[in-house]
Structure 1
Amino acid sequence: MGHKIITIGRQFGSGGHEIGDRLSKSLGIPLYDRNLVEMAADKMGLSEISVEEVDESVLNTFLSAYRYPDHVNSFTGYGLPLNDSTYLTQSSIIESLAKRGPCIIVGRCADYVLRQNSGCLNIFISASMEDRVKRIMDRYNLTEKEAATAIKRTDRRRKNYYETYTDQNWGSTDSHQLLINVSKLGMERTLGLIEYLYKQP
């Protein structure tokens, strides 16, 4: 393919999006994260809110796997539950973006979707609960208890989503070349390490 892709899996509040954003600026390549939700919504002819309800949170409720869109999806057709349709649509978009040129993709099972692409650097970002709680408290103006609850809930949803569609363990060495604990390594050294690896021939 001739170019490289960075995929970033992450625990909620670990700084995965910040890492992706800063790498995007320093390397001069596009970042795809929440905008994948918007792109999928547009391609499926659905509202962004509808798609976001199942984005990375399959099995959020008992009925989530059984929810069907109320009209034909022009991309995947009719008959697939909304979460399955969203996954297939986002996967198609991820594959197209990867073919287009170098980029950074956060979440959405990108490491699995692009598993046949030898030019991928697949990274999983984690951090201590203390650091994650502080980050989420600051970002969303939550109490410590609210932040801790949001972290546990979001991690559970991301884990369920990933493992449902990949049959791989979320955050495992089976799917990633590099697992980084930002609390141990530090943000600047984390960025420096990923950038160094990306630039290797």
Structure 2
Amino acid sequence: MTDHTIITIGRQFGSGGHEIGNKLAQRLDIPLYDRNLIHMAAQEIGISNEAAENINETSLGRFLSSYVVSLGDYTTFMSGENVEPLSEQMYRVQTELVKKLAARGSCVIVGRCADYILGDYSNCIHVFIHAFKEDRIRRISRIYKLNDKQAWDKIRRTDRERRLYYETHAQRPWGSIESHQILFNASLMGVDGIVDALEAIYRARQK
């Protein structure tokens, strides 16, 4: 039994999940791990941050799955050899990092299949953030300077990749109550409302 609490956040693209994680971590004064986990894993493997970003939260079906780490900072194409795809190397290293960081102390982890990786840990709060289509389009349009159609195309593509990544590794439904303890609708509760709720749950557990 540990005396710290880990909050994992899964999220639909455009739901505000990253903003919620960032605000919560700041309010609780605990570390936030999200995209920085990609860079930490890249350093462990010995590839560039750019290469690692290209396989961020994607599944074996993506084209970089056919590549492996070679000497230096580049990759070589697989040609029937028994080698581990780069995507799986990234997932394995990120899994190890998530477990190490969870053992170190309280933190917020956004994405990375963290709820599945830490599924046996009793000191975790696993949540998933949903939002209505219109609100997601509005958010992504504003952030990426896209029109509504472009924003919705980006949302559908990103959600599809996240779902495939999660379900490939976790073997259970992405964003469902079967996979998480709590589901939040950011359109109904608002970003700050969800942060307030998670802060209250966190502080209650800490007592």
TM-score by length of 1: 0.93
Correspondence for 1:66: 66
What is the alpha-carbon distance in structure 2 between the residues aligned to residue 104 and residue 58 of structure 1? Answer: 23
Deviation at 1:55, TM superposition (A): 1.5
Where do residues 40-55 of structure 1 align in structure 2 (5 Å cutoff)? 40-55=41-56
What is the alpha-carbon distance in structure 2 between the residues aligned to residue 171 and residue 72 of structure 1? Answer: 37
What is the alpha-carbon distance in structure 1 between the residues aligned to residue 60 and residue 152 of structure 2? Answer: 20
| Deviation beyond 4 Å, 4+ runs, structure 1 | none
What is the alpha-carbon distance in structure 1 between the residues aligned to residue 146 and residue 45 of structure 2? Answer: 34
What is the alpha-carbon distance in structure 1 between the residues aligned to residue 180 and residue 59 of structure 2? Answer: 22
Correspondence for 2:195: 191
Correspondence for 2:31: 30
Which secondary structure does the structure 2 equivalent of 1:105 belong to? strand
Q: In angstroms, what is the RMSD of aligned CA positions?
A: 1.6
Deviation at 1:60, TM superposition (A): 5.4
Where do residues 1-201 of structure 1 align in structure 2 (5 Å cutoff)? 1-59=2-60, 61=62, 63-71=63-71, 79-201=83-205
Residue by residue over 1:171-197, the C-alpha shift from the partner in whole angstroms, topping out at 9 and shown as x without a partner, is 111221100011012222211111111
Q: What are structure 2's unaligned runs of at least 5 residues?
A: 74-81
Which secondary structure does the structure 2 equivalent of 1:68 belong to? strand
- Contact preservation (8 Å) 1:60, 1:157: no
What is the alpha-carbon distance in structure 1 between the residues aligned to residue 4 and residue 201 of structure 2? Answer: 13
Q: Which residue type is aligned with residue 18 of structure 2? A: H
Deviation at 1:49, TM superposition (A): 1.2
What is the alpha-carbon distance in structure 2 between the residues aligned to residue 60 and residue 26 of structure 1? Answer: 38
Q: Which residue type is aligned with residue 5 of structure 1? A: I
- Contact preservation (8 Å) 1:123, 1:179: yes
- Contact preservation (8 Å) 1:58, 1:64: no
Deviation at 1:34, TM superposition (A): 0.6
Which secondary structure does the structure 1 equivalent of 2:184 belong to? strand
Q: What are structure 1's unaligned runs of at least 5 residues?
A: none
Task: State the identity as a percent.
Answer: 45
TM-score by length of 2: 0.90
